[in-house]
Structure 1
């Protein structure tokens, strides 16, 4: 009998297992994969996500694997261009985009060192129920006999297509349909900055460095163009770069070298799922997913996993009832993520910006200070109200000398 079972041992599951094991609980984490292994990913960890790794004592271990440091970003949206970087977040002034073969194995090892039992290559066949409550899992390692494990809480950290969510009946809400499909590959010979540009025809391109002198270079095409795009992925991929970012497109042709096959990353819809019920909980993409465009997924998995671990500790220790603790996790997760969710679903539609957003971004690009503040929003060190509240927008327009006839002041957030 375990105190907790975690299904999925990547960036959401292993940190949760580690936190609970460090608190003295008997934890089992299972994953169908073996580690190290790859998975589709943005790779990107924002500064506030790196702050969590440092707090857990794992950042130096990650830096020891020598991921490339990112300290400059170039952001473009339909002709609006901004370049800069965020102020340090909790003293961290860089971002990193580690290979998942490195990051996930590091997190699995950390969970094991903390005392969690991790079974790799384990496929969960289903949840075990008793009187309407989840009480465990059953599954097997490859060709071995079916096994059953029990615990008072089973957590699904098993991604967008979560088996735990499906069998527990977790309902989705605030669903926003996905708009694109991502293709990425690893290149050598490109510069080390973060590039992020939206074009005029439901397209986006981005690049950021990772391990081993390689750069993750990606494009997104709208779903309406997907069939056309996949008829000639290399040619259409290069065409997106040439259209949106011709300088980097030329660099990819003239001095870059593609070092991998293209990886397709069809986007799941944006959604929240009910993240708990009798005997079960969800974390990471199983619980909450948004378009990969801003790269918040890994960072949110770290933050929400830490919140869930604290509430499970309260419940497992008898400090408060499970329902009370998990309802608070649900409330905190939704409150903390709502503004980023709205911001992400707005920008990832790749449509025309609202007059308000175009006015705000247009004013921001006039000011290095406000540009730094905007990049701080992505990094996790600046709140949305510091940029998008009516008071902040009025201050932005005044400080940048924006003419009154170009100021848009509707109430509300972006």
Structure 2
């Protein structure tokens, strides 16, 4: 509390500060009770509330649940960008009652070829974590409360308050036990999930949307060896996955394209379905699964894919309310944390009077797009779970031989490496230097390599043609590659 007040004091005393323009002083003038009202107290909402409170702002955080509270199925994986922030904020310190192993390597196996690499670091964090979701939600909420956030549990928002210009200036709803309430704030933030009430009330448009692309079955398994490794597979339009999670448990699951998802049956029938899929890609691991035991019921994961307009007059969206994508890249928690951070930075700019709030929220919308759109397209493409072609497998094998391509491909999946950095002309041209001739190459790959090396005296045109041919096999990411600079 002292630290928060000290920062506010420094800001109030800083050169050029004008109290008349500072919305953080609104409680002194009586215009607003709060600087920000955050609707939804899960990962993204608790993150933005925590950060705004630490910056000296008065924040009301509301949620329909009472914490600790279970949430819908979540595979819990947090990639290095999310781990880095949660560690810096002190949230991970509240999880020390659990055994949570560090995951330092990711593997992709596609039929007979595969690659494995260590995770690229974000500052000094080169590992992922998979903590218990119930404990993570509780830790974030309690960190926010300790920072000065006012938490109202079992509270539902039904309406938004607006001024004469239509700008959102507050919320109206009900709290269990005390009935209806109405509160005003400089900004209202919707962090209330893919079915966001705030998004509905402001009419936030969806775009680049697609229906559910894949469905998965997953659960916790007990007694398995726990290497520091995320393993994913691709074969016969199935995507098995597994990694160590918390307290000696392992996540085991399989995803299918929506149209191939097996009819749900008993847990024992699902055991057989999942073990059969694992046996097809990793017989040794499947045998270990058979010899140990399931520790929980089977869960089903599937979500639609969409982006929403993330901000408008007096309001903003964050987390799944802002952008929901297929869970196959396990990026939801990581983007909830990073999105909460960039929204808190933008709202702080507006509340402090450095720039008008409208400009701050517009800047947030642009940063949100830069943060998520390319990886959103990558995730949608990945979620189709199409078997890799012989040409794609040749390139995967080449990545495994490269000193950096495998690491960067793993970093792409883990949201560390931006898709635009990986899917570039230069990166894919360099990849062709690592092709393996010993076992033979698909004819198309041989042709592409010849074109990339160029025809003597006329290197540019053939190389450009090769770029277009490579891009044609990369789906949405091919367009990204062609937008990159020609070496």
Q: Does 1:405 align with 2:439?
A: no
The reply to whether residue 331 of structure 1 matches residue 366 of structure 2 is yes
In 2, distance between residues paired with 1:9 and 1:277? 21
Counterpart of 1:367 in structure 2 is: 402
- Secondary structure of the 2:139 match is helix
Q: Which has the larger radius of gyration?
A: 2
For 1:98-117, what aligned pairs fall within 5 Å after superposition?
Answer: 98-117=131-150
Partner in structure 2 of residue 310 of structure 1:
345
Per-residue deviation at 1:120?
1.8
Match of 1:167 among 186, 201, 224: 201
Q: Does 1:200 align with 2:209?
A: no
Between structures 1 and 2, the one with greater helix share: 2
Which digits, 9 at most, give the CA deviation of each residue in 1:245-267, with x for residues without a partner? Answer: 3332221111x2111111222x2
The structure-2 alpha-carbon separation of the partners of 1:227 and 1:94, relative to structure 1 and needing over 3 Å to count, comes to: closer
C-alpha displacement of 1:62: 3.8
CA distance in 1, matches of 2:37, 2:239: 39
Partner of 1:268: 303
Q: CA deviation at 1:358?
A: 4.5
Q: Is the 8 A contact 1:89 1:379 kept in 2?
A: no
Q: Report deviation, 1:368.
A: 4.9
In the aligned structure 2, how far is the partner of 1:329 from the partner of 1:71? Answer: 32
Name which of 7, 20, 24 aligns with 2:56: 24
Alignment of 1:286-297 (within 5 A): 286-297=321-332
1:273-284 alignment, distance < 5 Å: 273-284=308-319
Gaps of 5+ in 2: 1-32, 450-465, 472-478, 482-487
Using the alignment, how far apart are the partners of 1:391 and 1:354 within structure 2? 22
TM-score, normalised via structure 1 length: 0.92
1:141 CA displacement: 3.0
How big is the shift at 1:243?
A: 3.0
Asked whether 1:13 is paired with 2:45, we answer: yes
Higher relative contact order (CA 8 A, sep 6+): 1
Instruction: Rate the CA distance shift 1:11–1:250 in 2: closer, same or farther, 3 A.
Output: same
Aligned 8 A contact 2:145 2:151 in 1: yes
Residues 1:184 and 2:218 aligned together: yes
- CA contact 2:314–2:358 (8 Å) conserved in 1: no
State the alpha-carbon separation in 2 of the partners of residues 23 and 342 from structure 1. 34
Q: Distance in 2 between matches of 1:79 and 1:176?
A: 31
Does residue 58 (structure 1) correspond to residue 111 (structure 2)? The answer is: no
